[in-house]
Structure 1
Amino acid sequence: MRILALSDQIHPFIYQERFPDNLPPFELVLVAGDLPGSYIEFVATKVRVPVVYVHGNHKEEYVQDYLGNLSAPGGAIKAHGRIVEVAGLRIAGWGGCPRYNNREIGQYNEAEAQSRFLSWYPVLMGRRLLKGHGVDILLTHAPPPGPHAGADFPHRGSTALGLFHRLYRPRIHVHGHIHLYEAQPKREYTSPEGVRVINAFEYTLIEL
Structure 2
Amino acid sequence: MKILAIADEESKYLWDYFEKSKLEGIDLIISCGDLDPRYLSFLATFTSAPVLYVHGNHDDKYERIPPDGCICIDDKIYVHEGVRIMGLGGSMRYKPGQYQYTERQMRHRVFKLLPKILWRRGFDILVTHAPAYQLNDARDLPHQGFKIFRSLIEKYHPKYFLHGHVHMSYGRQHKRYDKYMDTHVINAYDRCVFEFEAENPADTL
TM-score range, shorter chain: 0.7 to 0.9
Residue 57 of structure 1 aligns with which residue? 57
8 Å Cα contact 2:88/2:128 also seen in 1: yes
Equivalences for 1:1-208 in 2 at 5 Å? 1-16=1-16, 18-22=18-22, 25-59=25-59, 62=62, 70-101=64-95, 103-125=96-118, 128=121, 134-183=122-171, 184-192=173-181, 194-208=182-196
Q: Distance in 2 between matches of 1:36 and 1:20?
A: 19
* Aligned AA (2:178): Y
Q: Identify if the C-alpha distance between structure 1 residues 175 and 52 changes in structure 2 by more than 3 Å, giving closer, same or farther.
A: same
Q: Identify if the C-alpha distance between structure 1 residues 127 and 23 changes in structure 2 by more than 3 Å, giving closer, same or farther.
A: closer
Q: Identify if the C-alpha distance between structure 1 residues 24 and 145 changes in structure 2 by more than 3 Å, giving closer, same or farther.
A: farther
Q: Identify if the C-alpha distance between structure 1 residues 62 and 19 changes in structure 2 by more than 3 Å, giving closer, same or farther.
A: farther
8 Å Cα contact 2:162/2:185 also seen in 1: yes
8 Å Cα contact 1:36/1:60 also seen in 2: no
Q: Distance in 2 between matches of 1:155 and 1:17?
A: 30
SS in 1 for 2:22: coil
Q: Distance in 2 between matches of 1:20 and 1:152?
A: 40
Residues matched between the structures, number? 195
- Runs of 4+ with deviation above 4 angstroms: 125-128
* Aligned AA (2:99): G
8 Å Cα contact 1:50/1:87 also seen in 2: no
Q: Distance in 2 between matches of 1:154 and 1:176?
A: 13
Say what the alpha-carbon RMSD is for the aligned residues: 1.9
8 Å Cα contact 1:125/1:167 also seen in 2: no
* Aligned AA (1:83): I
TM-score (norm. length: structure 2): 0.87
The structure with more helix, counted as a fraction of residues:
2
* Aligned AA (1:97): S
Q: Distance in 2 between matches of 1:191 and 1:204?
A: 19
Q: Distance in 2 between matches of 1:20 and 1:174?
A: 25
SS in 2 for 1:41: helix
8 Å Cα contact 2:32/2:128 also seen in 1: yes
Which sections of structure 1, spanning at least 5 residues, go unmatched? 64-69, 129-133
Q: Distance in 2 between matches of 1:114 and 1:153?
A: 17
Deviation at 1:100, TM superposition (A): 1.1
Q: Identify if the C-alpha distance between structure 1 residues 114 and 147 changes in structure 2 by more than 3 Å, giving closer, same or farther.
A: closer
Which sections of structure 2, spanning at least 5 residues, go unmatched? 197-205
